Amino acid sequence: MPEPFTSATNGPEDDAPFRSRLSFDLDVDICVVGAGLAGLTVALEAARLGASVAVLEGRHVGWNASGHQLGTVMPGYSLPIGDLIERVGIEDARELWAMSKEGADYIRAAATEEAMPGIARTEGVLEVSNVDAGERLISRLQTLSEDFGIEVEGWQVDRVRDQLGTARYFHGIYYPRAFQIDGRKYIHGLAAQARRAGARIFEDTPVVSIDPSGIRKRIVTPSARLRASHIVLAGNVHLGAPLRRLSETLLPVWRYAAVTEPLGGRLDEVIAFKGSVADSDGIDHFRIIDGDRLMWASPETTWEARPRRFASVIQRRIASIFPRLGKVPIADTFGGAVGVTVHGMPQIGQLRKGLWVASGFGRQGLNTSAMAGRLIARSILWGEDRWKLFAPFELVWAGGATGRVAGHLIGLWGRGHSAAAGALARYREGARARERIREARLAEANRQAGTRPPRRPPPGAPRPVRPQPPRQAEPQGGGMHASQESEKIRDGSM
């Protein structure tokens, strides 16, 4: 499922002073480039397994997408499940989904109040449809539950609208084992745990160059050099010039979101569901935080802009979907860039001996970054080879500036198409409702008049044929018709 990048909190964490710039040469077993969700998970798991680990971050922990996310955790990928099966087959697709579930379970075990105070975990995620797609819902439910062993529930239209006070949505799929957390507290909680496990985190330390050849790889930073047996590239679209080849396989997408002011009891009157809600087209993603505030992610661009510019856009979006809320006051806005792959799957695996990649998590969700970090740490230190399941999803050039323009136009078309399909579905639903009202009124009028309404033939039945009057036979020998004889009698000609 698509994952927006927002957060309700902002500011440095308590353990931030313990992380500084790398100013001396260093030798380690594993060097991780990028202190985001995936990179910190690699560092934590590798340190727990006894490896010496250094994390190099060009800015600071969680400064971009990883520190600005909605915090929704659920299994799956951005690539639709049917397309995944078609690409790799049912058996490998099952294994890939099982691994994504392991990532969600990993976060559930780590994100506890005891380990990360204030993590604020709540349960349940609802994916809603913008169109009336009951048959597709049943098919997907069967695939998820029977073929992939995922715990899901199908919600009918009435139940969805009872929980979400809007006519915008139709059917839904409820994931009772999915959950949400405070994403910013989680990223800094990971950094604190990695540091306690023995990993060394260096902020404000960009990578100038990398030499991946040889047994000991060499990494150059502005103020020091580092050698490592393994390098893990866990960055995003901001990896920089030394890693431009990897960056250019990702389409940069900026996702913007906002948090409202406290809305009081009127929010409960409109939205009863307390978990995360995401539409099936990946346009809107929202949830209630702090009891009476709404966190909402919606606009998406392929060009960077000031998040505050989108406050009014999100405001109008909320009002259009939940008219009873009206124009809600916005307290803050957030934004972050994610790297989206061409094939819709994350990039996980070994590029060459000792050089690993964990990237392309845009629209993938927190579970995939956790799964990737754990998988790579175990592959390096235990020799696991499950990362090869991602081999069909190789690095594919994203098209550079032209790709950004194409991605922007495709995004606009997709959102427009979704809006049109949703409007058409709601129009058809309204037309059916008006037809039922008309028939009910007609039946009531017939009842009061003491008559029974005419029965309609079932669909496909032949229409009844009206009887035709019998035709008169012509007299033999060219005689006149009876009507002609009568006319002659009246005229006196006979």
Q: Answer yes or no: is pLDDT of 401 > 50.
A: no
Do 157 and 104 touch, CB atoms closer than 8 A? Answer: no
Find the range with the poorest average confidence among 7-16, 203-212, 236-245: 7-16
Quickly list DSSP for 248-305.
TTSEEEEEEEEEEPP-THHHHHHB---SEEEETTSS-EEEEETTTEEEEEEEEESS--
Measured between alpha carbons, how far is 440 from 266 in angstroms, rounded to an integer?
Answer: 35
Q: Is the pLDDT score of 424 beyond 80? A: no
Give per-residue pLDDT as tens, 306-326. Answer: 888 999 999 999 999 999 999
What is the pLDDT, as a whole number, of residue 66? Answer: 82
- Enumerate the β-bridge partners of residue 297: 257, 285
Residue with tokens 């994504």: 100
Per-residue pLDDT at 210 exceeds 50: yes
DSSP state of 321: H
H or E, element range at 484: helix 482-491
Instruction: Please report which residue ranges of 25-126 form alpha helices under DSSP H.
Output: 37-48, 81-88, 90-110
Q: How many whole angstroms separate alpha carbon 314 and alpha carbon 258? A: 7
**pLDDT tens, position by position, 89-141:** 999 999 999 999 999 999 999 999 999 999 999 999 999 998 887 788 888 89
Tokens at 449, concatenated: 């008049």
Asked: is 16-414 a CATH 2.40.30.10 domain? The reply is no
pLDDT of residue 464: 55
CA distances from 48 to 32, 53, 468 (A): 15, 10, 93
Establish how many alpha carbons lie within 13 A of residue 407's alpha carbon, considering only the half-sphere containing its beta carbon. Answer: 21
pLDDT given for residue 244 in this prediction: 67
Q: What's the pLDDT at 138?
A: 84
DSSP conformation class of 61 = T
Residue ranges of domains in the chain: 16-414
Q: Let me know: does 188 contact 15? Beta carbons within 8 Å.
A: yes
